[in-house]
Structure 1
Amino acid sequence: MHFAPAPVATGGPEFDGFEPRVLESTVGSGAVDWHLALLLALSGVGSLVVFALALSAFRRRRSLPYLLITAALGALVLRPIVGTGTVLGYVPMDLHHTVEHLLDVVIAGLLIAAVVSVGSLERGSRGVEETEESR
């Protein structure tokens, strides 16, 4: 499947003849907008940094909510990887959309589970305190 690059607007006062430079890809359909490449690189590095911080926090706390949040941030790291694979032609666009939406569902589910687990942990600890106080 071949995807042609989007047309570039070069006229009008908001563009002033500006055309983005493209990088030549060795795989896939050819040209890659350098803005997109930079965005994917920054997104990947930022995601990895946040994931590493979450992993460090989980190692200290070793609790279910921290594990769930770390897993959600780990899934977030996969998004720029899938985007890069699509830009380079390794991942077809229809599969890209399916995987991205699946990752959205996984991330949302993990975060909801983390919130629910914190609530259940708080209720459980309050129940222990109440029984100890009533003695």
Structure 2
Amino acid sequence: MTDRDSGGSAPAPRSRRGQGELEARVLAVLRTAPAPVPVAWVQERVGGGLAYTTVITILTRLHAKGAVTRERAGRSFVWTAVADEAGLAALRMRKVLDAEADREAVLASFVTALSPNDERLLRELLGEEGEAGRGRPEEGGD
């Protein structure tokens, strides 16, 4: 008798990983690299039995987001992390904001939904940047 025959049901499917979880794992591994590394190096260290093609896909997505860089090494690429997990989250937030027509409404809604501690932290961060002067010119301003 097989497992299916004993209970009449198939084994429970494996739960899917959370959005961005694999990207965060790959990025964390890549940040430990001593120099630009090939996909196989990342695959070996990320664990979880990920396929080589899955790791390439994740690295390509991270590259499109600006979280990693790549350079030619023969017929393939070697990869380097340029963002940490916080930077990756910030890139995702920026992408969402850039996709909306009414940036002011999105930002206002975001800020009003913050916890009091997060709001205080954001105000402190904005106050520090305002006092030090912006390190980059305002978008759309002269």
TM-score, normalized by length of structure 1? 0.22
**In proportion to residue count, which structure has more strand?**
2
The structure number with the bigger radius of gyration is 1
**In proportion to residue count, which structure has more helix?**
1
Greater relative CO, 1 or 2 (CA 8 Å, sep 6+): 1
TM-score, normalized by length of structure 2? 0.21
